[in-house]
Amino acid sequence: MTALEPREAGAFWGRLGPRLREAFGTPRAVLVLSAHTLARTPTLLAAPQHAAVHDFGGFDPALYRLRYDAPGAPELAADVAQRLAAAGLPVNVLDRGGLDHGIWVPLRALFPQADVPVLPLAFSPHASPAELMALGQALAPLRQEGVLVLGTGSLTHNLGWVFGPTAGGRPPAVDAAERPECRAFRDWVAARTAEGDVDALLRWAAQAPHARDMHPTDEHWLPWYPALGAGGPQGVRLHDSVTYGCLAMDAYAFGDGAEALLD
């Protein structure tokens, strides 16, 4: 719903796009790993053209009328496949396209003209943080070649607290006060990231407070690690906001010049 009701996170994305272009120039392409584009083996979607995939149900009909017809990046896909293979990482390349809502919703705010090519890279939800960080490290040289490496998921993602039995039959207010468990987890991530404490971040499930309350399953957290690998070890929190008291929309940047993107 951020595409229709931007709130704090959507407004931040709208400011971030121009700031990215000002600080680094228009990206040659966006290589994106999303919690909603998954595969058993890393897989590049190398179609020459993409369209928005409305991979959800039961929402405002206006949401299904939104489009995002961004160009693909088949030549970049071939380059990325070679780099991953050279690093000993398995990879598939498909001449198929489509941008899930974890991709097109933020990109529609970042690059509303859909003028930046997009290359989705599906990953396994069963991969370990260390494996996904290694994937990001293999992609790191792309940053010096004008490619934005983007991980998109959610800093916290317990939908049971919003829609499930623990919500008491009705969702909390969108502007409900933040739950203390959510605050503790966000503060832990912010501190470990600022310190570049990669070991702790890799062991997040055992070390972060309320880790499993915040992520009953891993997939929305895992895109963090390719971004960390591509640009880390230290990161900068660019934005933090929470909806429904428990869904955190924090955004981080990694690598040289990340401070130029601060809100």
Backbone φ/ψ region at 168: left (φ over 0), alpha (ψ -120 to 50), beta: left
Whether the Cβ atoms of residue 29 and residue 76 lie closer than 8 Å to each other? yes
CA-CA distance, 89 to 114, in Å (whole number)? Answer: 30
What does CATH list as the number for 7-261? 3.40.830.10
98: alpha, beta or left? (left if phi > 0; alpha if psi -120 to 50): left
Q: Which of 234, 213, 47 is nearest to 122 (CA)?
A: 47
Place 263 in a pLDDT band, splitting at 50, 70 and 90.
confident
Residue 32: predicted pLDDT: 98
User: What does the alpha-carbon distance between residue 168 and residue 166 come to, in Å, rounded to a whole number?
Assistant: 5
Residue 167 has pLDDT above 80, yes or no: no
Domain coordinates in residue numbering, the chain: 7-261
Condensed to tens digits (0 to 9), the pLDDT of residues 33-45 reads 999 999 999 999 9
Predicted confidence (pLDDT) per residue in 202-230, tens digit: 999 999 999 999 999 999 999 999 999 99
What backbone torsions phi and psi does residue 55 show, to the nearest 5 degrees?
-90, 60
Alpha-carbon torsion, ordered 132, 134, 135, 136, to 10 deg:
90
Annotate 79-133 with DSSP letters as a single string.
HHHHHHHHTT---EEES---B-HHHHHHHHHHSTT--S-EEEEEB-TTS-HHHHH
